[in-house]
């Protein structure tokens, strides 16, 4: 993983929904080529932070730098065109459309049919379900299968940054492992990943960097392992004992 200048840089980001600030001055960096995981209690502003990246929430103060451009004030479409794609917290497939139609929609910014066909071919080999269930309605898939199709759809844009808001939500333990392994696979295929997770232990194990958000502020940053092994953070936010965490089975975990 190249340790270069920050790929995304948050400086003093203040944002909310009109009734007071949810983010109260957020500063941290996302490294290119890595997986960065944000953890923190419910309501701490994690989703709000991701929405600020995608242009769905406009910060009142501060900057979000990406490829030398400040994203604050850009529209969601402009941000998408710059190569940032978000998979939202709630399921977002068109249930009445087929799996393949949903995945193809992901490439809506690309008008060259041959390029779209080539991408679809690559996506099919990375996500077997896209080929196996191509003609089935997306609404007929399980929650975990839909999550994988959402990943497939977002990769159709060949984004530079993939933003995932609690991808494990509602998944059973087995599907959860597949999902995390897929996040790792996406990252190894060259996508920088910014991820929010409630399933903090498993997510931090596969993450290069961890960020703890508390009440709209960054409480701690470090490597995934540093955040995972921080005793205070462990006790406060990760639930259970560290001993348990060390023995928890995680697919695609990183050392340290
Ligand atoms: N659309 C909204 N309108 C008003 N308040 C919101 C909205 N979305 C979230 N909030 C509030 O902002 C705070 C942070 O929410 P959120 O960013 O979703 O936290 P998290 O993802 O960490 O659980 C919460 O108090 C929540 O109630
Ligand atoms: Mg959230």
The CATH number for 58's domain is: 3.40.50.300
Q: Do 166 and 68 fall within a single domain?
A: yes
Q: What is the mean pLDDT of residues 10-15?
A: 98
The one-character DSSP state at 57 is S
- CB 22 near ligand 1, within 6 Å: yes
- CB 50 near ligand 1, within 6 Å: no
Q: Is residue 251 part of a domain?
A: no
- CB 86 near ligand 1, within 6 Å: no
Q: Is residue 255 part of a domain?
A: no
Among 158, 176, 191, give the residue marking a domain's end.
158
Q: Do 37 and 70 fall within a single domain?
A: yes
C-alpha–C-alpha distance, residues 37 and 164, integer Å: 9
Distance from the alpha carbon of residue 49 to the mean position of ligand 1, in angstroms: 10
Q: Is residue 253 part of a domain?
A: no
Q: Report the nearest atom of ligand 1 relative to the CA of 41.
A: 22
More reliable by pLDDT, 63 or 6: 63
Q: Do 24 and 64 fall within a single domain?
A: yes
Number of domains in the chain: 2
pTM, 2 dp:
0.89
C-alpha–C-alpha distance, residues 244 and 121, integer Å: 41
Write the residue with the smallest CA distance to atom 27 of ligand 1.
43
Q: Lowest-pLDDT range, 66-80, 103-117, 181-195?
A: 103-117
Distance from the alpha carbon of residue 43 to the mean position of ligand 1, in angstroms: 6
C-alpha–C-alpha distance, residues 219 and 225, integer Å: 16
What token pair was written down for 162?
């993939």
C-alpha–C-alpha distance, residues 181 and 147, integer Å: 13
Q: Do 1 and 122 fall within a single domain?
A: no
Residue position matching structure tokens 């959860």: 176
Q: Do 153 and 169 fall within a single domain?
A: no
Cβ neighbours around 170 below 10 Å, total: 15
Q: What is the pLDDT of residue 242?
A: 45
CB 175 within 8 A of CB 144: yes
Q: Is residue 252 part of a domain?
A: no
Residue 32's pLDDT band (boundaries 50, 70, 90)?
very high
Q: Do 72 and 132 fall within a single domain?
A: no
Task: Please enumerate in sequence order all residues whose Cβ is within 8 A of that of 5, keeping only pairs 6 or more positions apart, or say none.
Answer: none
Q: What is the pLDDT of residues 195-227, one digit of tens each?
A: 999 899 999 999 999 999 999 999 999 999 999
CB 80 within 8 A of CB 157: yes
CA nearest 98: which of 140, 144, 157, 152? 140
More reliable by pLDDT, 60 or 247: 60
CA nearest 30: which of 245, 187, 199? 187
Q: Is the pLDDT of residue 244 over 50?
A: no
Taken in order 201, 28, 54, 184, the sign of the CA dihedral is negative
Q: Do 143 and 170 fall within a single domain?
A: no
Q: Is the pLDDT of residue 253 over 60?
A: no
Residue position matching structure tokens 């492992």: 177
Distance from the alpha carbon of residue 214 to the mean position of ligand 2, in angstroms: 13
Among 113, 134, 158, give the residue marking a domain's end.
158
Taken in order 109, 114, 117, 122, the sign of the CA dihedral is negative
Q: Do 71 and 164 fall within a single domain?
A: yes
Q: Do 129 and 173 fall within a single domain?
A: no
Q: Do 48 and 172 fall within a single domain?
A: yes
Among 158, 175, 209, give the residue marking a domain's end.
158
Q: Do 188 and 67 fall within a single domain?
A: yes
Domain membership of residue 131 as a residue range: 91-158
Q: Do 20 and 53 fall within a single domain?
A: yes
């Amino acid at each position: 993983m190249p340790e270069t200048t920050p790929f995304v840089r948050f400086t003093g980001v203040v944002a909310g929904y009109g009734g007071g600030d949810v983010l109260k001055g957020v500063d941290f960096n996302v490294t290119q080529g890595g997986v960065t995981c944000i953890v923190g209690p419910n309501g701490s502003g994690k989703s709000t932070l991701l929405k600020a990246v995608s242009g769905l929430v406009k910060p009142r103060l501060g900057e979000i730098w990406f490829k030398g451009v400040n994203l604050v004030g850009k529209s969601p479409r402009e941000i998408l065109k710059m190569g940032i794609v978000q998979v939202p917290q709630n399921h977002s497939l068109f249930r009445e459309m087929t799996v393949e139609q949903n995945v193809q929609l992901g490439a809506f910014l690309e008008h060259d049919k041959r390029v779209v066909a080539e991408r679809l071919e690559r996506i099919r080999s990375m996500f077997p379900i896209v080929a196996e269930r191509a003609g089935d309605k997306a609404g007929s898939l399980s929650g975990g299968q839909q999550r994988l199709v959402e990943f497939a759809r977002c990769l159709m844009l060949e984004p530079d940054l993939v933003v995932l808001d609690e991808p494990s939500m509602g998944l059973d333990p087995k599907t959860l492992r597949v999902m995390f392994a897929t996040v790792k696979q996406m990252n190894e295929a060259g996508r920088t990943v910014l991820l929010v997770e409630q399933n903090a232990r498993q997510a931090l194990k596969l993450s290069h960097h961890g960020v703890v958000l508390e009440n709209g502020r960054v409480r701690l940053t470090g490597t995934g392992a540093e955040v995972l092994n921080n005793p205070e953070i462990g006790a406060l936010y990760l639930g259970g004992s560290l001993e348990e965490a060390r023995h928890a089975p995680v697919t695609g975990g990183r050392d340290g």
